[in-house]
Amino acid sequence: MAGKRFQVLQGNEAVVEGGIAAGMRFYSGYPITPSTEIAERSALRLPQVGGKFIQMEDEIGGIAAALGASMAGLKAMTATSGPGFSLKQENIGYAAIAEIPIVIVDVQREGPSTGLPTSPSQGDLMQSKWGTHGDHPVIVISPSSVQECYNETVRAFNMAERFRVPVIFLMDEIVGHLREGCELIPPEELTISNRRVDREFNGTLAYAVQEGNYVPEYAPFGSGDHFNVTGLFHNLDGFPTNDSEVTDSQERRLLDKITKRRDRIEKWEEVDTDDCEVMIICFGGTARAVEGAMDASHQYDSVKIGMFRPITVWPFPEAALHKILKHNKHLRQIIVAEHNDGQMILEVQRLVEGTVPVTHLGKIDGTTITPDEILEKIKEVY
Amino acid sequence: MARTEVRMSGSGGQGVIMGTIILAEAAYEDGKQVAQCQSYGPEARGGSSKAETIISDNRIHYTKVKYPDLLLSLTQLSFDKYLPDVKDSTIIVVDSSIEVSEETKKAHKVYILPILDAAAEVIKNKMSANIISCGVVNEILHIADWDAIEHAVLNHVPKGTEESNLNALHYGAKMAREYSEN
Amino acid sequence: MPSKLIENTMRVNRLPHIWCPGCGHGILMRDVAQAIENCGLDPDKVVIVSGIGCSSRAAGYMNYNTLHTTHGRAIAFATGVKLANPELHVIVITGDGDATAIGGNHLIHAARRNIDLTVIVFNNSIYGMTGGQYSPTTPHMEKGTTAPYGNIDYVFDIPKLAEAAGATFTGRCSAYHAQQAIKLIEEGIRHHGFSVIDGVSVCPTYYGRKNKKGDSVKMLNWQKENFVDVKVAEKLPPEKLEGKTLIGKFYESNDKEEYTDMYMNLIERAGGNK
């Protein structure tokens, strides 16, 4: 059923195919627009590869069952949209502290609450990082094409398994419902990371890590190691504790797991950033309008435009941006284009520290930013 | 081919979304880049519905259609709704049940074809209007090789209707060809 | 010195437990452990899943694969564990608030699916961990810190709720009647389908004190005097059963196919066993 190597697929469908190529064998979720095609295709495709699909009674059950399956050793995913993403937040934190690999897809929709269910938006960018309470590690990836939905879902699973963290796949309706050609690269031609299991600590010290490692490598349930998993701060054997030293060391390790491995996690795209005068920073489906604007501007021999696009949006590719700021002597203006009222711009302003003017091009009416609007914005500010 | 944008519109249930998917798959199989989009939600249930396919030899950046190169409408309601979003060079294809003003006829290349009647009376399958439309569009724009578009049709039609749908495809092409010749 | 049962089934270095003196949960936890032993399950294949609350701390003490999850979600997590690996014996230890208030939706839907989980509700009729608020099983007009004028809510009858929702095994046991409890839990584990057992505990600290029920001994004695085995009850006239609580196995049916069995068939039909 995976069928031909080259197919026209929807972004949402490509996520499922990428997941299956990466080894996903469990999906649990709840229907919600505009992510439902992910559940539908998982229901069809997973049993064909011996995997499991279950439609749970609610969004919270959707992530909870996926986490249970992950504890039993399967690569697991759940997908949702706005309201469902809010409902899943508590268990995203649980995945973070208990260090259970999982991929959570959020196909964003416009506005708070029920909002505009089928409209493009990127209003969950900050929620994807800070949505669950407390300091916690999370990796967030945002694709801008159907092919990237496929390839980056593979990377999302790889990082979830490798770092034992929740990885959020932050999509927008532009990409989720778009149909494009997609190469279904078979698993044997992909880099696939599987969960590492290290039973040297005799299984009971599930949360102990080897020197220089930040990731506990406990075995799945059923392997013979009788350890405890909890959302409370815990000792190395997973048993709850209130000890402030243990709490600090566990929390630090959780965060270090990401911050000390940024080089393996960050990913971005740069177009003409060496010598552009105006650099547009964007992510996800917005990039398509930015690219459209760059196409149009080539025809008019106008100002030189570049694009910087984080693919891993959290952690934000800080070093890459700093490098551009340091080396590009022509850069006069940065425009952050995003389908929200100003979220990524906060991170950009923090990193640019006033060295280059930063302006915002946002849209929150449920329609897409167009190439014309980007060109107009450039004229306005440059 | 240069970036070419097709918008199909009609009423919910006429299969215009499937029509654009078939065009996209055919063009992709023929080695072109494609992007297909459609309306969702309440907009997609009853009332007027639309879907678009963009075809190009080069990478397609922006994936939305503003002013299509070809607008095809199967109902008056959808035609009236999307007629304002055309450019001078837009080719217009409408079912013969639709009234088109003289002004529009002067300003555009217009094909007025009995697509719905042909589906009901010639193909004897009302559900084949979208496939007839694919034949019309491909005859006018040469999006894909006919083999490729036949494949794409066969990928999407119910078992037992393969032959009648292929007839529908070629009947559409024939109507467009004869219309041009007249 | 811990008994042989405790040594075999508990994380002895984590004892004593955090429950208050006189709490019934320790007895119920021991009953669960004894039932697992009696069933002869391979401890490596036993998974204990719990939610949040006093009851759910049990998971941490039990020497199996243990998953202490989020409030209300134990059954949903357990559903994922079981479906992912049907070879595992998945037992859920939860509380009255955890299972029937915040997690009520998961309880009824797991029952509807008839997935092979054994759910034991450590039911102390109160939210203990947060200090004594009324729960869905706090009796009508009794008190909690959030029901200072008496609780006007009515209670859930957990076995009836589960049966109506589709569970294929239901029953009730008590902290006092330990032998019967072990046997019932054992049967629940052996049952191939969704089993729900209402394990009536005692909370002398909050529920008992707030409602002047006396100390733990008095509360356990009350169970002794007022709980009647369902089989004995069948032979008693109605007037003798007034104000009594029934315990024992209430319902068992093997008519409905179990969920993970059906899913394995589905995989077969989809061609996924190649």
Distance from CA of A59 to the nearest CA of C (A): 11
Residue A78 at interface with chain C, using a CB cutoff of 8 Å:
no
Q: Is A194 contained in some domain?
A: no
Q: Are residues A298 and A156 in the same domain?
A: no
Give the model confidence (pLDDT) of A245-275 as tens digits.
999 999 999 999 999 999 999 999 999 999 9
What number of CA atoms fall less than 13 Å from residue B132's CA on the CB side? 30
pLDDT at residue B42 greater than cutoff 60: no
- Tokens for C30, please give them: 């021991």
Please give the pLDDT value at position B12: 82
Q: Are residues A168 and A300 in the same domain?
A: no
Give the C-alpha separation, B21 to A180, whole Å.
Answer: 10
Measured between beta carbons, the chain A residues lying within 8 angstroms of C84 are 25-26, 52, 68-70, 72-74, 76
| Beta carbons of A68 and C49 less than 8 Å apart | yes
The predicted model gives A160-189 an average pLDDT of 97
Closest alpha carbon to C54 in C81, C33, C29: C29
As a whole number of Å, the end-to-end CA separation of chain B is 27
| Beta carbons of B34 and A117 less than 8 Å apart | no
In this structure, are residues A147 and A176 in contact, taking their beta carbons and an 8 Å threshold?
A: no
Please give the pLDDT value at position B48: 81
Measured between beta carbons, the chain C residues lying within 8 angstroms of A26 are 80, 83-84
Measured between beta carbons, the chain C residues lying within 8 angstroms of A231 are 68-70
Q: Are residues A141 and A12 in the same domain?
A: yes
Give the C-alpha separation, A266 to A155, whole Å.
Answer: 11
pLDDT at residue A137 greater than cutoff 50: yes
Please tell me which residue of chain B has the smallest CA distance to A291: B61
| Beta carbons of A68 and C76 less than 8 Å apart | yes
pLDDT at residue A1 greater than cutoff 50: no
Closest alpha carbon to C199 in C11, C31, C5, C61: C31
Measured between beta carbons, the chain A residues lying within 8 angstroms of B21 are 8, 179
- Tokens for A30, please give them: 């709840």
- Tokens for A191, please give them: 């880099």
- Tokens for A155, please give them: 């990377």
Give the model confidence (pLDDT) of C42-62 as tens digits.
999 999 999 999 999 999 999
Give the model confidence (pLDDT) of C24-44 as tens digits.
999 999 999 999 999 999 999
Q: Based on the number of CB atoms within 10 Å of its own CB, is C217 exposed (0-12), middle (13-18) or buried (19 or more)? A: exposed
Angle between helices B129-141 and B146-156 (to 10 degrees): 160
Range of the domain at A30: 6-189
Measured between beta carbons, the chain C residues lying within 8 angstroms of A65 are 76-77, 79-80, 83
Q: Which of A60, A222, A232 sits opposite C44 (nearest CB)?
A: A222
The predicted model gives C162-174 an average pLDDT of 98
Measured between beta carbons, the chain A residues lying within 8 angstroms of B34 are 8, 179-181
- Residue B44's pLDDT band (boundaries 50, 70, 90)? low
Please give the pLDDT value at position C1: 67
Contacts of B19 (CB under 8 A, 6+ apart): B8, B51, B130, B131, B133, B134, B137
Q: Is A227 contained in some domain?
A: no
- Tokens for B176, please give them: 């467009």
pLDDT at residue B43 greater than cutoff 70: no
In this structure, are residues B37 and A177 in contact, taking their beta carbons and an 8 Å threshold?
A: yes
Last residue of a domain, one of A170, A189, A208: A189
Distance from CA of A201 to the nearest CA of B (A): 52
Last residue of a domain, one of A189, A211, A233: A189
State the total domains in chain A: 2
Q: Is A230 contained in some domain?
A: no
Measured between beta carbons, the chain A residues lying within 8 angstroms of B61 are 288-289, 291-292, 294-295, 371
- Tokens for A164, please give them: 């034992």
- Tokens for A12, please give them: 């949402």
Give the C-alpha separation, C266 to A45, whole Å.
Answer: 12
Q: Which of A49, A58, A231 sits opposite C69 (nearest CB)?
A: A231
- Residue B134's pLDDT band (boundaries 50, 70, 90)? very high
In this structure, are residues C121 and C99 in contact, taking their beta carbons and an 8 Å threshold?
A: yes
In this structure, are residues B27 and B143 in contact, taking their beta carbons and an 8 Å threshold?
A: yes
- For chain A, which residues lie within 8 Å of any Cβ of chain B, measuring from their own Cβ? 6, 8, 33-34, 117-118, 173-174, 177-181, 285, 288-289, 291-292, 294-295, 368, 370-371
Question: What Rg do the C-alpha atoms of chain A give, in angstroms?
Answer: 21
| Total residue length of chain B | 182
Number of Cβ within a 10 Å radius of residue A212: 6
Which partners does chain A have (≥3 C-beta pairs < 8 Å)? B, C
| Beta carbons of B21 and A179 less than 8 Å apart | yes
Give the model confidence (pLDDT) of C229-242 as tens digits.
999 999 999 999 99
Please tell me which residue of chain B has the smallest CA distance to A370: B62
pLDDT at residue B41 greater than cutoff 70: no
CA dihedral A361, A367, A370, A375 (to 10 degrees): -30
- Residue A199's pLDDT band (boundaries 50, 70, 90)? confident
- Tokens for A308, please give them: 């910087």
Measured between beta carbons, the chain B residues lying within 8 angstroms of A285 are 63
Measured between beta carbons, the chain B residues lying within 8 angstroms of A294 are 61
Measured between beta carbons, the chain B residues lying within 8 angstroms of A121 are none
In this structure, are residues A337 and A305 in contact, taking their beta carbons and an 8 Å threshold?
A: no
Last residue of a domain, one of A160, A189, A218: A189
Please tell me which residue of chain A has the smallest CA distance to C259: A54
Measured between beta carbons, the chain A residues lying within 8 angstroms of C194 are none
Please give the pLDDT value at position C213: 96
| Beta carbons of C84 and A61 less than 8 Å apart | no
Q: If you count residue pairs, one on A and one on B, with CB atoms under 8 Å apart, how many are there? A: 58
In this structure, are residues A236 and C74 in contact, taking their beta carbons and an 8 Å threshold?
A: no
Rounded to the nearest integer, the mean pLDDT of chain B is: 94
Distance from CA of A250 to the nearest CA of C (A): 18
- Residue A184's pLDDT band (boundaries 50, 70, 90)? very high
In this structure, are residues C106 and C124 in contact, taking their beta carbons and an 8 Å threshold?
A: no
| Beta carbons of B28 and A181 less than 8 Å apart | yes
Contacts of C124 (CB under 8 A, 6+ apart): C23, C24, C25, C54, C55, C95, C96, C201, C202, C203, C207
Residue A235 at interface with chain C, using a CB cutoff of 8 Å:
no
Strands (E), chain A: 6-10, 24-29, 52-55, 75-80, 102-108, 139-141, 166-172, 179-183, 228-230, 268-271, 278-281, 305-310, 312-314, 333-338, 358-362
State the total domains in chain C: 1
Please give the pLDDT value at position A107: 98
Residue A239 at interface with chain C, using a CB cutoff of 8 Å:
yes
Q: How far is C-alpha B71 from the geometric centre of its chain's CA atoms?
A: 8
Residue A207 at interface with chain C, using a CB cutoff of 8 Å:
no
pLDDT at residue A2 greater than cutoff 60: no
Give the C-alpha separation, B126 to B13, whole Å.
Answer: 11
Give the C-alpha separation, C122 to C28, whole Å.
Answer: 7
Give the model confidence (pLDDT) of B49-80 as tens digits.
899 999 999 999 999 999 999 999 999 999 99
Please give the pLDDT value at position A211: 86
Range of the domain at C74: 4-270
For chain B, which residues make up each domain, given as ranges? 4-181
* DSSP label at residue A135: S
Closest alpha carbon to A29 in A20, A18, A41, A17: A41
Q: Which of C49, C85, C272 sits opposite A50 (nearest CB)?
A: C272
Give the C-alpha separation, C82 to A259, whole Å.
Answer: 34
- Residue A93's pLDDT band (boundaries 50, 70, 90)? very high
Please tell me which residue of chain C has the smallest CA distance to A62: C76
| Beta carbons of C83 and A54 less than 8 Å apart | yes
Least confident range from A118-122, B39-43, C15-19: namely B39-43
Give the C-alpha separation, A14 to A42, whole Å.
Answer: 11
Q: Are residues A76 and A185 in the same domain?
A: yes
3-state secondary structure of A78: strand
The enclosing domain of C82 has a CATH number of: 3.40.50.970
Distance from CA of B55 to the nearest CA of A (A): 10
ipTM above 0.90, yes or no: yes
Number of Cβ within a 10 Å radius of residue A1: 10
| Beta carbons of B66 and A370 less than 8 Å apart | yes
Residue A229 at interface with chain C, using a CB cutoff of 8 Å:
yes
| Beta carbons of A26 and C105 less than 8 Å apart | no
Q: Are residues A179 and A291 in the same domain?
A: no
3-state secondary structure of C118: strand
Going B154 to B158 to B159 to B161, the CA torsion angle's sign is negative
Helices (H) and strands (E) in chain B, counts: 7, 6
* DSSP label at residue A325: H
Q: Specify the fold of B4-181.
A: Pyruvate-ferredoxin Oxidoreductase; domain 3 (3.40.920)
Q: Are residues A43 and A131 in the same domain?
A: yes
Give the C-alpha separation, B79 to B94, whole Å.
Answer: 8
Place of tokens 């079981």: C82
In this structure, are residues B33 and B59 in contact, taking their beta carbons and an 8 Å threshold?
A: yes
Q: If you count residue pairs, one on A and one on C, with CB atoms under 8 Å apart, how many are there? A: 146
Q: Enumerate the H helices of C64-153 as residue ranges.
A: 74-84, 96-97, 104-113
Give the model confidence (pLDDT) of C67-103 as tens digits.
999 999 999 999 999 999 999 999 999 999 999 999 9
The enclosing domain of A169 has a CATH number of: 3.40.50.970
* DSSP label at residue A65: H
Rounded to the nearest integer, the mean pLDDT of chain C is: 97
Q: Is A127 contained in some domain?
A: yes
Place of tokens 């589960």: C162
Q: Are residues A53 and A151 in the same domain?
A: yes
In this structure, are residues A29 and A55 in contact, taking their beta carbons and an 8 Å threshold?
A: yes
Distance from CA of A323 to the nearest CA of B (A): 26
Give the model confidence (pLDDT) of A288-326 as tens digits.
999 999 988 877 667 899 999 999 999 999 999 999 999
Residues 165-204 of C with CB under 8 A from A: none
The predicted model gives A144-161 an average pLDDT of 98
Q: Are residues A108 and A18 in the same domain?
A: yes
Q: Which of C14, C88, C108 sits opposite A72 (nearest CB)?
A: C88
Q: Enumerate the H helices of B45-161 as residue ranges.
A: 76-82, 102-107, 115-117, 129-141, 146-156
Q: Which of A68, A76, A225 sits opposite C78 (nearest CB)?
A: A68
